[in-house]
Amino acid sequence: MKKLLRTLFGCLCALCLCGGAFFAACTPNDTGSSGMPPSSGSTGSGSDSSGSDPSGSESDSSGGGTDEPDEPGDPALTAEDFLHTSGQTLVNARGEKTLLKGTNLGGWLHFEGWMDGGGGIEPNVWGNHQAVLDALGERFTDGEIEELLEIYQDAYIAESDLDYIASLGFNLVRIPFYWTEILDEDGNVKENAFDQLDWAVENCRERGIYVLLDLHGAPGGHTGGWVTGGFTDSNEFWTNETYQAWTVKLWQTVALRYKDEPAVCGYGLLNEPVPPDGAEHADNEREMYDMLYEAVRAVDEEHIVVMGAFYNFDQLGSPHVNDWQNVVYETHHYDDADKSDENQNNFMASQIAYINEYKVKWNVPVLAGEFSFWSAENAWRSWLYTLSAMDVSWCNWTYKNTAQDAALNWGLYHLPDVESVDYQNDDFDTIAAKWRGYATENYTRNEFLRAVMSDAALYGWDKIDGETLSRENWEATAYTAGETGHALPHAFDGDLTTFYSNGEAQQSGAAQWIEIDLGGETALNRVDVFCPHTDYARGYELSALVGGEWVTLGSGTGYAGNLTMRFDKVQATQLRLALTADTAVWWRVYEIFAYLENEAPMPEN
């Protein structure tokens, strides 16, 4: 059935191709270039259908193509869902803002042996995609290799996986692929080049999930010899004109096939590019990106092109200077030198500030395309909620993983006991049997990551189920006027680039505070304090004046990003946020919002 669907989809595509020590007072307002506060009107979620765990029963979902009329509640993407950029955001053809949230299908069409079926090659025990192909090529015919790869790929991702991904509220999968998925080792387009991608696009479209096609490994290697590029210890793409020509051919072939496809949200030209060291390192990277950008634009003027801001934004340069239109800049975020909660919180805060700086300065949308904060729960939650607040799309690395330490949260599913292929001795049937073992039904679900990511996707800051309270009649005061240039009004101006700073070390005892007169009795059950910086409140207490008496609504240890405080509904006239911990760092507050959420059940933790 899977092959039949691919064949039918391929035929349809072919037919298409033919044709702050005194009291300071302020009056907050709700205006700002960032578009804050968020509302429930954005279209950032995926299908809300109840998908089953792939380790359980089979999915019986079905769907139609883009030419069929939508049924009521049908999540399928149509031509009106075709995405393009608008300033710092993504919008569909109806002009609606769309925030992408999801996961990577790493290890499916691109082997990284430390996390998938490509392990077991000596002396490189991690393996890599090219090494797998070379090892198989020594013992099997091209036809047998293709058959084995199809067995693995069909097992690794199935329709039940896509059902589950949609049920989490995700509307994005980033699909990393190795160049040999499309071209053979002579640079020719393979007959079965689009078997898996067509199947993924068709089935994701039916479920309201966008697909980002990511070239994870280019011909000759392009990542400085890292295993992530599929060709360890090789970096010849940058200097080999043949490999460059093949990559141009690859992207033009892909873009031509999907140029009218609304479910494909964009083309990720090169994952984590690492040109050879030297003075012209950055110039070389921009030159190659420009070459591939022009190649895509020659056949597809409409799809988003995704550029990797790797290692940083400045290395890539502004899209306006590069004369790139309808592009998204993609960032990756890992700090594995110190996995402590404190360090990960600080790292997360620095990365939020980093993204926001360039997103605003260059007026370009950003996708956080890979990240992990290991076991730092606050960092995970705050990261995802804050990105959503900033209109930054996101997808974690990755959906499935065989890494041995599940606490590192490398995937939504974890397979701790996996039997690697012995490429020198296993016969065809043994390899096939082992690779069938990578079906998700054999994995263990990561309950922490499922809860935190689904909560962010379904109930994130951009998905307020209820009322965002107006700040027009609020009157705010603070125990101190604050640092010069960072006065209290900045905590209520709707601009994520400005902030209030107290200008001194934080102290316990609730002597440092901000009070808000709500302008009358107000019903609320949630307060958010946004601080994407290391100067976040190390300890806090939130109180409300209810019926003439102060009532504590919540207290705890703060964290960087978006601190969300939920409580039973109160009718309050004032709010007070006070500090309760001693630390040398100052206190920043970028924004304070209040909400009256509908009383809907939250996802189980």
Higher per-residue confidence, 394 vs 225: 394
**Among candidates 515, 511, 532, which has minimal Cα distance to 581?**
511
Higher pLDDT, 60 or 163: 163
Look at residue 61 and tell me whether its pLDDT is greater than 80. Answer: no
Count of Cβ atoms closer than 10 Å to residue 573 Cβ: 16
- Ramachandran category for residue 226: left, alpha or beta (phi over 0 → left; psi -120 to 50 → alpha): beta
Closest to 277 (Cα-Cα) out of 241, 232, 224: 224
pLDDT beyond 90 at 6: no
Instruction: Give the residue-averaged pLDDT of 511-518.
Output: 97
Instruction: Find how far residue 130's CA is from the centre of its chain.
Output: 27
Is the pLDDT confidence value at 303 over 50? yes
Per-residue CA distances from 585 to 302, 379, 556 (Å): 47, 18, 17
Q: How many whole angstroms separate alpha carbon 271 and alpha carbon 395?
A: 14
**284, 229 contact by CB (below 8 A):** no
- The two tokens of residue 342 are 């404190």
pLDDT of amino acid 37: 43
In this model, does residue 73 exceed pLDDT 90?
no
Give, in words, the CATH class of 466-597: mainly beta
Q: Write out pLDDT tens, residues 102-141.
A: 999 999 999 988 888 777 665 444 568 998 999 999 999 9
Most confident option among 63-77, 126-140, 454-468: 126-140
Mean pLDDT, the chain, rounded, equals: 86
pLDDT value, residue 159? 98
Query: How far apart (Å, rounded) are the C-alpha atoms in residues 475 and 491?
Result: 12
Structure tokens at 454: 């689904």
**Lowest pLDDT segment from 50-59, 218-227, 436-445, 537-546:** 50-59
pLDDT at 416 exceeding the cut of 80:
no
Rounded to whole angstroms, how far apart are CA atoms 42 and 45?
9
Do residues 140 and 150 make contact, with C-beta atoms less than 8 angstroms apart? no
pLDDT at 476: 97
SS3 533: coil
Residue with the larger pLDDT of the pair 183 and 456: 183
pLDDT of 566 reads 92
Place of tokens 């059950």: 525
361: which residues sit within 8 A by CB, 6+ positions away?
Answer: none
Which pLDDT belongs to residue 292? Answer: 98
Beta strands 24-26; 475-478: pairing state: antiparallel
Distance CA 559, CA 554 (A): 14
pLDDT (average), residues 424-443? 94
This prediction's pTM? 0.82
**How do residues 320-345 score in pLDDT, each as one tens digit?**
999 999 999 999 999 999 999 889 98
Of all residues in the chain, the percent with pLDDT exceeding 90 is 66
Q: What angle do CA 517, 523, 526 make, to 5 degrees?
A: 85
Distance of CA 171 to the CA centre of its chain: 10
Q: What angle do CA 41, 456, 59 make, to 5 degrees?
A: 95
Q: What is the pLDDT of residues 192-232, one digit of tens each?
A: 999 999 999 999 999 999 999 999 999 999 988 777 888 88
Q: CA–CA separation, 46 vs 269, rounded Å?
A: 25
Domain boundaries, the chain: 79-272+368-459, 466-597
Instruction: Please give the average per-residue pLDDT across 487-496, as a whole number.
Output: 91
User: Residue 406 — very low, low, confident or very high, per pLDDT cuts 50/70/90?
Assistant: confident
